[in-house]
């Protein structure tokens, strides 16, 4: 067991990122994510890493992608309105398969909304914010400890699958302070490198659907474009190549889906009623489960909300013959749509929604459960 440190959620994110090997951060100030940029600016130079405060969120995302192409693990952090601006280049990273981590600390919206208040309104933006068909991984930690270790996971996934990974925090867990035990052994993954520079085809994928990635300035002399491209990286109008590329972008995640999804079942052994919650609401629900001390109610926490642990949820529903599911979220009902898709009428699915900018309390949830 390693050392226990008291830290804020945003701080855990930066420390986890540096532990994962982050050596580049570009950002733009925005509440409630700003501490991430502040701490990155302070810490990175001590690790020979680079920090830059760009002129806006669009350019921060661009700079992160540029740095990643030079071989550095790179991250940016923002919140609602800034997350909207980053979408353009998140799509670019997705299409060009450039690893990067994007932190979105959710706050009340739409628009400028409630800058200092909590929300979970970006569930769908994190999945579909950028245009076009694209795969994405979105990880939503619940506690400060989760944030530390799941930031590392976010880097690992982005490196292994060459994909932008969204780390979805919220104002509550980002600003909360908790102790985190820093384990000595942590698994760190790096991107695959091409074996040779000869006849380098930057988008020729291995069996896992992921092409090894060269870096700029090492003699590969390769081209990267957001246009549909073939294995050489050059643009093509071939409908065959277009379909092949889009299929592979999705395939690489589908193939490794079981290695990617993260979830937790909490006291679900005998439950017939299930609560499904993520982020800071999940910890509220843990408290609910402990308070009511009734083994007919259990909790399912998806940590990868995209891809959602659908197989795992479905098998729990079938095994336990779940009769009713509650989905508490700090929005008007976003994750519940995915839950309904999976449940497909097998049982009742009810939302518990709060969008006042305040965290939902255990009492409020218990009231809903008792109301039936």
Partner 1 sequence: MRIELLNKYFKMDQLPHIWCPGCGNGIALGAAVEAIDNSTMDKDKICIVSGIGCSSRASGYLNFDSLHTTHGRAIAFATGIKLANPELNVIVITGDGDCTAIGGNHLIHGCRRNIDINVLVFNNNIYGMTGGQYSPTTPRNARTSTSRQGTVERQFDICKLSENAGATYVARGTVFHYKHLIGLIEGAFKNKGFSIVEILTPCPIQFGRRNKTPEPADMMRLLKNSTSFSDDGKTKIGVFRDEKEPEFVSEYIKLLSNEGDISV
The residues binding partner 1 (CB under 8 A) are 2-3, 15, 18-19, 24, 26, 43, 45-50, 52, 54-56, 58-59, 62-72, 74, 88-89, 92, 182, 184, 216-227, 234-235
Distance in Å, CB of 222 to partner 1, minimum = 6
CB closer to partner 1, 15 vs 191: 15
**Kind plus residue range of the DSSP H or E element containing 101:** strand 100-108
CA 213 to chain centre: 22
CB closer to partner 1, 65 vs 281: 65
CB closer to partner 1, 3 vs 295: 3
Distance in Å, CB of 70 to partner 1, minimum = 4
Distance in Å, CB of 226 to partner 1, minimum = 6
Q: Are 101 and 158 in contact (CB under 8 A)?
A: yes
> Could you give the CA distance from residue 121 to residue 107 in angstroms, rounded to a whole number?
8
Distance in Å, CB of 149 to partner 1, minimum = 13
Distance in Å, CB of 113 to partner 1, minimum = 24
> Could you give the CA distance from residue 232 to residue 223 in angstroms, rounded to a whole number?
8
- DSSP code string of 329-344: ESSSSSHHHHHHHHHT
Strand 297-302 relative to strand 263-266: parallel, antiparallel, unpaired?
Answer: antiparallel
**Kind plus residue range of the DSSP H or E element containing 128:** helix 123-128
| Burial category of 185 from C-beta neighbours within 10 Å (exposed 0-12, middle 13-18, buried 19 and up) | exposed
Distance in Å, CB of 184 to partner 1, minimum = 7
Joined together, the tokens standing for residue 65 give: 């992608």
Distance in Å, CB of 115 to partner 1, minimum = 22
What ranges in 4-56 are assigned the alpha helix state H? Answer: 9-20, 34-43
End-to-end CA distance of the chain: 43
CB closer to partner 1, 144 vs 275: 144
Distance in Å, CB of 28 to partner 1, minimum = 11
- Phi and psi based region of residue 102 (left: phi greater than 0; alpha: psi -120 to 50; beta: remaining): beta
What sign has the CA pseudo-torsion 235, 237, 240, 245? positive
CB closer to partner 1, 23 vs 107: 23
CB atoms within 10 A of CB 37: 25
| Burial category of 156 from C-beta neighbours within 10 Å (exposed 0-12, middle 13-18, buried 19 and up) | buried
Q: Are 285 and 365 in contact (CB under 8 A)?
A: yes
CB closer to partner 1, 18 vs 284: 18
Distance in Å, CB of 98 to partner 1, minimum = 10
CB closer to partner 1, 237 vs 293: 237
Strand 137-139 relative to strand 304-306: parallel, antiparallel, unpaired?
Answer: antiparallel
User: What DSSP character marks residue 219?
Assistant: S
CB closer to partner 1, 52 vs 347: 52
CB closer to partner 1, 29 vs 219: 219
């Amino acid at each position: 067991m390693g050392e226990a440190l008291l830290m804020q959620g945003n701080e855990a994110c930066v420390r986890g990122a540096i532990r994962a090997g982050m050596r580049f951060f570009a950002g733009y100030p925005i509440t409630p994510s700003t501490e991430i940029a502040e701490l990155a600016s302070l810490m990175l130079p001590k690790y020979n890493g680079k920090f830059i405060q760009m002129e806006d969120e669009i350019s921060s995302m661009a700079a992160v992608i540029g740095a990643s192409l030079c071989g550095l693990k790179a991250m940016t952090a923002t919140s609602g309105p800034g997350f909207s601006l980053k979408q353009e280049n998140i799509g670019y990273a997705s299409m060009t398969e450039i690893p990067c981590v994007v932190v979105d600390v959710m706050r009340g919206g739409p628009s400028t909304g409630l800058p200092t208040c909590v929300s979970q309104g970006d569930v769908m933006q994190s999945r579909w914010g950028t245009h076009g068909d694209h795969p994405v991984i979105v990880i939503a930690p619940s506690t400060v400890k989760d944030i530390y270790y799941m930031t590392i996971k976010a880097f690992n996934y982005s490196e292994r699958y060459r994909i932008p990974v969204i780390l979805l925090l919220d104002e509550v867990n980002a600003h909360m302070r908790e102790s985190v035990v820093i384990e000595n052994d942590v698994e760190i993954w790096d991107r695959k490198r091409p074996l040779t520079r000869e006849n380098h085809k930057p988008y020729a994928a291995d069996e896992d659907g992921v092409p090894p990635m060269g870096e700029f300035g090492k003699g590969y002399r390769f081209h990267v474009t957001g246009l549909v491209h073939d294995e050489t990286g050059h643009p093509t109008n071939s409908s065959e190549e277009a379909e092949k590329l889009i299929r592979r972008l999705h395939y690489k995640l589908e193939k490794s889906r079981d290695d990617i999804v993260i979830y937790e079942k909490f006291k679900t052994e005998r439950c017939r009623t299930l609560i499904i919650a993520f982020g800071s609401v999940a910890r509220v629900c843990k408290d609910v489960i402990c308070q009511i001390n009734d083994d007919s109610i259990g909790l399912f926490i998806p940590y990868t909300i995209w891809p959602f642990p659908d197989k795992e949820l479905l098998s729990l529903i079938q095994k336990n013959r779940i009769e009713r599911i509650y989905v508490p979220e700090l929005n008007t009902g976003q994750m519940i749509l995915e839950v309904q898709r999976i449940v497909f009428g097998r049982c009742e699915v009810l939302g518990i929604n709060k969008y006042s900018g305040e965290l939902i309390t255990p009492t409020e949830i218990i009231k809903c459960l008792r109301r039936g």
